[in-house]
């Protein structure tokens, strides 16, 4: 895969409506992995109340937001850098470290590769095996770390949903440290897990200065239009990240929304509980459709193989778009073929519309 299509993402409602007409409200977007519960009442109120503050510059230190992140995730403030989405910090990080060789798993989130290439690095792949459900074999990856400056691990991995435990990652970090390799763990979807403590690496930060954690708040709190994320790393690197970015990179509305979001325990609990049930229900309904092979999800998205339908993912995307339903074609992920697409988990009535449309297009249940 090459050219602009290599780094295309889901959730491109603007391009769809420009091409096909209509409005956002007419489209069901299963191509972006956003919390189906949508914007919380508290965040919406915060945005309205913060509107007048946009006549001032944002807090370049993001003090209140760092305090909220520190308290919620139990991490020292001096380890926190705030980003206009986690993706911004990937690019800043690569420009600071200027790696020569970067290793990424495949398939995984394409911005790791894009950020590495933007800094002049050569990118190598460790291909996850479909035969083993795309499991992330950290022992095998560790053998490929010689002369690698940065390795990116997405946990849970997008688009496969596969997970690695904190213990597994710690052993990997130890090996990487002996090779002078930075380990970047992207935990952007970890808040959807009911047992996130088993998978997060936050408690390893004080022990390993080669560990960097990236975290997005836009997915879980349904604020992709605001953009908000952060990194956790050793204090020296965090200071470099802070100096390497635009001083006002995160606007006031986003900073205030982040503070309110992290204090909204009702929304957090409701979101985790909803996803736990809805992902299983949608998985079982997709599994029942003739020709589809969904992979059991860990969080709020499901990877699906459609090879037996004799339709490519691109063809399915085109047909589903005619129903005003967007799904994510995954043929531009290194490590995946034209047989894969991904769908987000949404509200029950929306999931039903997706399933009904797929049944109609593909030909019903098994």
Mean pLDDT of 215-230: 97
185/152 Cα distance (integer angstroms): 6
Indicate the average pLDDT of the chain.
95
Residue 175 has pLDDT above 50, yes or no: yes
pLDDT of residue 7: 52
Percentage of the chain exceeding pLDDT 90: 92
**pLDDT digits 0-9 by tens, 92-142:** 999 999 999 999 999 999 999 999 999 999 999 999 999 999 999 999 999
pLDDT of residue 5: 55
60/252 Cα distance (integer angstroms): 10
Mean pLDDT of 241-256: 96
- Give the tokens for residue 344: 């987000």
Closest by CA to 275, choosing from 295, 298, 258, 293, is 298
Cβ neighbour number for residue 341 with a 10 Å cutoff? 28
Count each helix (H run) and each strand (E run) in the chain, helices first: 12, 13
**pLDDT digits 0-9 by tens, 42-78:** 999 999 999 999 999 999 999 999 999 999 999 999 9
pLDDT of residue 4: 47
CB 203 within 8 A of CB 171: no
CB 119 within 8 A of CB 94: yes
CB 28 within 8 A of CB 326: yes
Q: Which residues contact 318 (CB under 8 A, 6 or more apart)?
A: none
Provide the 8-state DSSP code for 47: H
262/304 Cα distance (integer angstroms): 32
Reported as a pLDDT band with limits 50, 70 and 90, residue 366 is: confident
Q: For 95-146, what is the HEC assignment? A: HHHCCCEEEEEECCCCHHHHHHHHCCCEEEEEECCHHHCCCCCHHHHHCCCC
pLDDT of residue 3: 47
Q: Can you tell me which residue has the tokens 């699906």?
A: 304
pLDDT of residue 215: 98
Q: At what angle do helices 348-362 and 313-322 cross, to 10 degrees?
A: 120
- Give the tokens for residue 343: 């769908």
């Amino acid at each position: 895969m090459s050219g602009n299509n290599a780094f295309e993402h889901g959730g491109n409602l603007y391009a769809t409506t420009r091409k096909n007409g209509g409005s956002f409200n007419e489209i069901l977007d299963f191509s972006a992995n956003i919390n189906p519960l949508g914007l919380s009442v508290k965040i919406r109120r915060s945005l309205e109340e913060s509107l007048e503050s946009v006549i001032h510059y944002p807090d370049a230190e993001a003090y209140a937001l760092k305090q909220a992140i520190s308290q919620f995730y139990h991490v020292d403030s001096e380890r926190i850098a705030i980003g206009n989405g986690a993706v911004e910090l990937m690019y800043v990080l690569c420009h600071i470290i200027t790696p020569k060789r970067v290793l990424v798993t495949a398939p995984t989130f394409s911005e790791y590769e894009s950020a590495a290439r933007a800094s002049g690095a050569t990118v190598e792949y460790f291909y996850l095996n479909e035969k083993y459900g795309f499991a992330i074999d950290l022992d095998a990856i560790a053998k490929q770390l010689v002369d690698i400056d940065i390795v990116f691990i997405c946990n849970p991995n997008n688009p496969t949903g596969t997970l690695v435990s904190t213990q597994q990652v710690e052993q990997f970090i130890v090996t990487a440290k002996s090779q002078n390799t930075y380990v970047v763990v992207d935990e952007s979807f970890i808040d959807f897990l009911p047992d996130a403590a088993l998978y997060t690496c936050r408690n390893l930060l004080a022990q390993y200065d080669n560990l960097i954690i990236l975290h997005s708040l836009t997915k879980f709190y349904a604020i992709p239009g605001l953009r908000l994320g952060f990194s956790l790393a050793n204090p020296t690197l965090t200071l470099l990240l802070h100096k390497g970015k635009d001083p006002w990179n995160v606007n006031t509305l986003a900073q205030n929304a982040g503070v309110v979001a992290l204090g909204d325990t009702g929304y957090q609990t409701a979101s985790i509980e909803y996803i736990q049930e809805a992902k299983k229900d949608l998985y079982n309904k997709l599994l029942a459709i003739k020709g589809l092979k969904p992979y059991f999800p860990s969080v709020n998205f499901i990877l699906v193989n459609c090879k037996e339908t004799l339709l490519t993912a691109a063809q399915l995307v085109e047909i589903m778009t005619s129903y005003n339903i967007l799904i994510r074609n995954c043929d531009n992920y290194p490590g995946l073929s034209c047989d894969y697409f991904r769908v987000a988990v949404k509200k029950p009535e929306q999931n039903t519309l997706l399933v009904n449309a797929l049944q109609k297009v593909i030909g019903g249940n098994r």
